[in-house]
Amino acid sequence: MNKNILYYLLAITLVASCKRDDDHVFDKSPDDRLNETLKAYQTAITSSPYGWNGNLFTADGTLYRFYFSFNDSNRVVMYSDFDSATSSSSMESSYRLKALQQPSLLFDSYSYIHILSDPDASVNGGSVGVGLKSDFEFAIDSVSTDSISLTGRFNGSKLTFKKATQADKTIWSAKQVANGVLNFRNYWKFLSYWKRLNYRGADYELQFDTTTKKVTVSWGTGSQATSATSKYYFWANGVYFLDPITNGSITIPGFSITGFTDGALTSQVMNVTVNGTAATIKGAVPTTTAPPLNPDVKNAITRWRNQAIAGGNYWISLNGFHKNGVDDAFNIRSLKNDSAEFYFLLYQPNQAGGDAFVNVYLDTLHTPLGLVGINGSWVKQTITKTTGLTRVTEDSVNSKIPWPASGPAQQTRQQMFSGTGNYYFVQSSEITYDQVSVDDPSTWITWYWVF
């Protein structure tokens, strides 16, 4: 028994000896080392004389551009390209460096960076309860002489700082970023669905997805057609691409907007500069023999149909046709069927009688399952695989509840099957496709996937 006690005491002595040796691995305590790390990070973020340009990628990958200037009093001044207000006026708020699971940067009073994560969807246009899936507390991943990388602690959004130059700071303070946000609004005044940048003698078709801030640029024709996609942000008086578009020896980093001339569909012009060289953006009018430049157009219609057919589901449109610059051009949202109100247009391919194109109404209780009364048609689609051109024809009309003889429903029906009935389909976002008239490129309908 005494021998066991002796062994036990010897073991304790050895452990204690090891612990004393471990204590000498570092010459300072963990708390001291942590405080020194936080102090070094504080020095790093306040040491840039002209502040920092920040790229914030939300959990969905959407890019927002920021400017930050930190001081030693835990105050930060920022701009953002989120909208015209955040890009034209600076905002000062507070920040902290704190040791959580790892050293972290916390924006601890409401600021522009909080707008993206605000759970109120009316603030940022995101989803109720989650906003745009961004963060305002960030773990610090790495720090170098001219950049800092961080990761959001809740949604995992990515934030990178890059030291700003004096010219960068001036672009923000002189409201050139705000000018870019405001100038870009004129882009949406183009009546034609198709817009093309003409630069150094070549046409580049532009397709902007504002929900995820991506742009697809297409050029060439036939077998030479190609496209590239990049995230975009607002910068000196215009729109710039995170990944510049490269066509051989030509590089397009984006464009600065210098003017816009409004007018008829074919006379509208946006004057821009690319790499300091004058260029133009104009509305285009593709035809059945000269299709859009985007090579994906020939495949989009097949994906659109197959996505619904595979699950036995359908596509919906909440506003009907956009025409000549006007959303819901036929005022279809005013439709009523007795006391029931218009809910949405529905297109369901591959039904027993063909494709179904119908108006759907909602009962007076506005319950999701209270669908009543449908008027619509059986539809046939003929697709030219080499170009994606789609011919939409009406096979027959619902005889039990026919289309109204006049008004928004009849106008919508006439547009769907008007003229040649030719359309091109474009995937405009992850959940939307646009069906664009060939006869009149100022006319299109957007289909949403809600499943």
CA–CA distances in Å: residue 283 to residues 150, 269, 386 = 41, 8, 24
Q: What pLDDT does residue 15 have? A: 45
CB proximity list for 424: less than 8 A, separation 6 or greater:
286, 291, 292, 297, 301, 388, 389, 390, 435, 436, 438
Q: What is the DSSP letter of 326?
A: B
Tell me which residue of 420, 414, 413 sits closest to 391, measured CA to CA.
420
Partners of 17 in beta bridges: none
**Same-domain pairing of 57 and 141:** yes
In one letter, which amino acid is 440?
Answer: D
Residue 369 has pLDDT above 90, yes or no: no
Q: What pLDDT does residue 45 have? A: 96
Q: What is the DSSP letter of 131?
A: B
Q: What pLDDT does residue 122 have? A: 93
Query: Residue 365: inside a domain, yes or no?
Result: yes
**Same-domain pairing of 412 and 304:** yes
The model's confidence at residue 8, banded by pLDDT at 50, 70 and 90, is very low
Query: DSSP 3-state helix, strand, coil percentages of the chain (rounded to 5)?
Result: 25, 40, 35
- Mean pLDDT computed over 172-184: 98
- Mean pLDDT computed over 266-270: 96
Q: What pLDDT does residue 372 have? A: 53
Q: What pLDDT does residue 37 have? A: 85
CB proximity list for 333: less than 8 A, separation 6 or greater:
318, 319, 320, 342
Q: What pLDDT does residue 375 have? A: 77
Domain of residue 401: give its range: 297-448
Cα–Cα–Cα angle for 246, 247, 249, rounded to 5 degrees: 90
DSSP 61-82: --EEEEEEEE-TTSEEEEEESS
**Same-domain pairing of 194 and 262:** yes
Number of domains in the chain: 3
**Same-domain pairing of 212 and 152:** no
Query: Residue 124: inside a domain, yes or no?
Result: yes
CA distance 322 to 311: 28
**Same-domain pairing of 307 and 420:** yes
Q: What pLDDT does residue 218 have? A: 98
Judge whether 206 and 151 are in contact, CB under 8 Å. no
Query: Residue 344: inside a domain, yes or no?
Result: yes
Of 174, 199, 232, the last residue of a domain is 174
Of 145, 174, 203, the last residue of a domain is 174
CB proximity list for 153: less than 8 A, separation 6 or greater:
100, 104, 135, 137, 138, 139
Q: What pLDDT does residue 108 have? A: 95
Q: What pLDDT does residue 11 have? A: 46
Q: What pLDDT does residue 7 have? A: 46
Instruction: Give percent above pLDDT 90 in the chain.
Output: 78
**Same-domain pairing of 306 and 438:** yes
Domain CATH for 47 = 2.40.128
- Among 152-161, 166-175, 186-195, 373-382, the minimum mean pLDDT is found in 373-382
- Mean pLDDT computed over 211-233: 95
Place of tokens 């008004």: 407
How many other CB atoms are there within 10 angstroms of residue 163's CB atom? 17
For residue range 379-436, list pLDDT tens digits in order. Answer: 999 999 999 999 999 998 876 677 888 999 999 999 999 888 999 999 999 999 999 9
Tell me which residue of 127, 109, 153 sits closest to 62, measured CA to CA.
127
Instruction: Give percent above pLDDT 70 in the chain.
Output: 90
- Per-chain mean pLDDT for the chain: 91
Q: What pLDDT does residue 430 have? A: 94
**Same-domain pairing of 131 and 208:** no
- Among 41-55, 72-86, 290-304, 362-376, the minimum mean pLDDT is found in 362-376
